[in-house]
Amino acid sequence: MNRIKLILIASIMLLGVSMASGQQIPNLTQYVFNDYLYNPAIGGIYDYYQVKTNYRYQWAGIKDAPRTYLLSAYGPHKSMPMGYGGYIFSDVIGPISKLGIYGSYAYNIKVSGDIRLSMGTFIGLTQYKIDLSALYFDVQTDVQDPVLQNGATYTKFMPDASVGFYLYTSQYYGGVSVMQLFSNKIETVDSDEVDYKKVTSRLNNHLVLMGGYKYNINRDFDIEAGSLIKMVKGSPIQVDINVRSIYQKMVWFGINYRSGDAVSLLAGYNYQDMLYLGLSYDITTSELRNYSSGTYEIMIGVKFNKIKQSSTRRKIR
């Protein structure tokens, strides 16, 4: 395989990671119900334990389209204003996969009146993997390349960390976090197997901002509006804006707009404030709309072991 072709493949794969993961980090429409992924400080604000799982199938209809799997669990200390948790995720697009496991710790303090501030951190390990045996070529000379014939697999394990701050009351919240603190480098070509320079990419710091407000219309209806903003060097700012209508704190419908990507429809159901389900469908608005039938996502969550609520912790939802 010649140098130009190898670099082209590596570049496509690196672009694939960014496109599939929304600026190198997992992209979820259901962040409305599982924003813990983007800010570890959220792991310390609730007075109950919860387990959530997400599955996202992005750009349905496109071969080897991105798929994201996520399992998270977190909850409070029984008596102290702190929380613990963690999550496992898998992000896959064609020959590229990203697998991560993280633990979190958060501590919150009273600022004034009903206002509290939570501070948290994620510490974890991420595996990046490229499986060349999953690549398909039409040109016979490509298939004869020894690297592809051997089905070479490139794997890299790297430590990772995030920090976050979350200011909240019973009606509104705002948060800021920095993800991929270590700015690790990924080498996609092993110089021991091919005789040219390695192709590398850096995992940049991501600044994530979030905020929202809940308004009570009457005994039956609430309105929630929120936003998630992701910023990373070298990529356009990605902005999500959502609005939800909630009936008797049990059923909700909403819409989310993601800049340069999609408009999403959301729905959910909360059974006895214990078991809840969230569904979303993204209508692609980018150039991929001509090739994709949209993006599907589902979230299932369970709440349990609620502790006595005190002045050290207040739910916002």
Q: Give the whole-number percent of the chain exceeding pLDDT 70.
A: 79
pLDDT at 2 over 70: no
Q: So what's the pLDDT on residue 252?
A: 97
Q: So what's the pLDDT on residue 137?
A: 53
Whether the Cβ atoms of residue 245 and residue 252 lie closer than 8 Å to each other: yes
pLDDT digits (tens, 9 = 90+) for 41-64: 999 899 999 999 999 999 998 888
Q: So what's the pLDDT on residue 317?
A: 41
> What is the rounded average pLDDT for all residues in the chain?
85
Task: Name residue 165's amino acid.
Answer: F
Averaged pLDDT for residues 249-277: 95
This prediction has a pTM of 0.85
Q: Which CATH superfamily is domain 3-304 in?
A: monomeric porin ompg (2.40.160.40)
pLDDT digits (tens, 9 = 90+) for 167-180: 999 899 999 999 99
pLDDT at 14 over 90: no
Q: So what's the pLDDT on residue 1?
A: 46
More confident residue, 186 or 178: 178
Among 25, 159, 43, CA closest to 104? 43
| 3-class secondary structure, 289 | helix
Q: So what's the pLDDT on residue 165?
A: 98
Question: Could you tell me which residues come within 8 angstroms of residue 243 by beta carbon, excluding any fewer than 6 positions away?
Answer: 223, 224, 225, 254, 255
End-to-end CA distance of the chain: 55
pLDDT digits (tens, 9 = 90+) for 191-241: 455 454 566 677 889 999 999 999 999 999 999 999 999 999 888 999 999
Q: So what's the pLDDT on residue 3?
A: 44
pLDDT digits (tens, 9 = 90+) for 102-160: 999 999 999 998 899 999 999 999 998 888 776 655 544 455 555 555 567 778 899 99
Dist. CA 161–CA 100, nearest whole Å: 11
Q: Which of 98-107, 178-187, 257-266 has the lowest mean pLDDT?
A: 178-187
Q: At 7, is the pLDDT very low, low, confident or very high (cuts 50, 70, 90)?
A: very low
Q: So what's the pLDDT on residue 269?
A: 97
State both tokens at 11: 């570049």
Whether the Cβ atoms of residue 188 and residue 13 lie closer than 8 Å to each other: yes
Q: At 26, is the pLDDT very low, low, confident or very high (cuts 50, 70, 90)?
A: confident
Which of 27-36, 245-254, 303-312 is predicted most confidently? 245-254
- C-alpha torsion angle, residues 72, 42, 222, 32 (rounded to 10): -50
Q: So what's the pLDDT on residue 186?
A: 75
pLDDT at 12 over 60: no
Q: So what's the pLDDT on residue 17?
A: 47
Question: Could you tell me which residues come within 8 angstroms of residue 18 by beta carbon, excluding any fewer than 6 positions away?
Answer: 24, 235
